[in-house]
Amino acid sequence: MSILVVGSVALDSIQTPFGKKDDVLGGSATYFSIAASFFNKVDIVATVGEDFPKRYITLFKCINIGTSGLSIAKGKTFRWKGRYNYDLNIAHTIYTHLNVFKGFKPEVPRSLRNSKFIFLANIDPELQYDVLTQIKNPKFIACDSMNYWIEHKRKDLERILEHIDMLLLNDSEARQFSGESNLIKAAQLIASFGPKAVVIKKGEHGVIYFSKNSHFIAPAYLLESLYDPTGAGDTFAGGMMGFLSKANRINESVIRKGIIYGSILASFAVEDFSVNRLLEISISDINSRYDHYRRITKF
């Protein structure tokens, strides 16, 4: 079943101890949709500026990513510049130029309003809610957020939590939202606002998934070389939801497998700058690494 993602398509400038890149393809919807595209058709709802390289739009189309919801607005594309030191878990923002993203009002094309798997990437929770009102009969809605919205738009974020199946946050955001340092307690408090499941992302330390009655711990795939962690969380979400949409049923077992596929996709994403590594791999590379993951976690 088809997947819809609402988020950013951006040009990133990135510095890590392993090199630097300027104006490369980035944005939450980009990472998400490329990861999900290994499993299913994905449609992007986002906006870019007139300076957005046409080759990227061609690329999206080539790999089964629908761009009918990707508008080209007057002005410049959203740009983010960040730096990572040796602790690649922490992104230091140098600048964020919202540009055309400042006036972004996501409009879901009529033909996509019956999409079944919806990912609300990290944008203003008011806009996330607005997107939901445009969708007809979704089957599974997942939502990401960030520290800024937790601090400045808490009420809007709480409202969206009543309407979603899964919230994805990193560990510091989960602690910030809940005021609980213990992650089990943090997840329980977040779940009390409505979402059926909470996924707490711990970067190189993996992921913890909480549902009402159970939890699931998945360590990250161990890498020998890690170049650029940008987009790892959105890639994780894309791999997971791609797998769920392909399975086309939601239960604990499918979600757990989806979480591992998400982790595997994220492990590829960080092996090169931007989405470069994701564009090199095939589903058989993904499946081999999934099998290897199973072997190195089995006991």
Binding site for its own copies (CB under 8 A): 86, 181-185, 202, 205-206, 208, 214-219, 222-226, 253, 256-257, 259-260, 294-299
Least Å from the CB of residue 298 to its own copies = 7
* CA–CA separation, 44 and 62 (whole Å): 14
- Quick one: DSSP state of residue 78? P
DSSP state of 10: E
Nearest to 32 by CA among 59, 16, 8: 8
Pick between residue 48 and residue 241 the one whose CB is nearest to its own copies. Answer: 241
Query: Which residue, 52 or 177, is less far from its own copies as judged by CB?
Result: 177
Q: Which is nearest to 122 in space by CA: 97, 147, 99?
A: 147
**Minimal distance, residue 215 CB to its own copies, in Å:** 6
Are 32 and 163 in contact by the 8 Å Cβ rule? The answer is no
Q: By C-beta, is 105 or 224 nearer to its own copies? A: 224
Closest contact distance (angstroms) between CB of 22 and its own copies is: 25
**Distance, C-alpha 60 to centroid of its chain:** 16
CB of 13 vs its own copies, minimal distance in Å: 24
C-beta of 46 vs 259, nearer to its own copies? 259
Closest CA to 223 of 136, 165, 164, 289: 289
Collapse the DSSP code of 259 into the 3-class scheme (helix H, G, I; strand E, B; otherwise coil) and give the result: helix
Considering the complex, what minimum distance in angstroms separates the CB of residue 74 from its own copies? 45
As a residue count, the chain comes to 299
Torsion of CA 84, 49, 280, 206, to 10 degrees: 40
Question: Smaller CB distance to its own copies: residue 52 or 261?
Answer: 261
Residue 99 tokens read as 């540009």
Distance CA 28, CA 232 (A): 9
**Of the two residues 136 and 205, which places its CB atom closer to its own copies in the complex?**
205
Structure tokens at 151: 């601090």
Residue 172 and residue 147 in contact, taking contact as beta carbons nearer than 8 Å:
yes
Shortest distance, position 24 Cβ to its own copies, whole Å: 24
Nearest approach in angstroms of CB 81 to its own copies is 24
CB 136 within 8 Å of CB 2: no
Which residue lies nearer to its own copies by CB, 124 or 171? 171
**Which C-beta is closer to its own copies: that of 63 or that of 217?**
217
Picking from 270, 107, 283, the residue whose alpha carbon sits closest to that of residue 203 is 270
The nearest distance, CB 247 to its own copies, in angstroms, is: 13
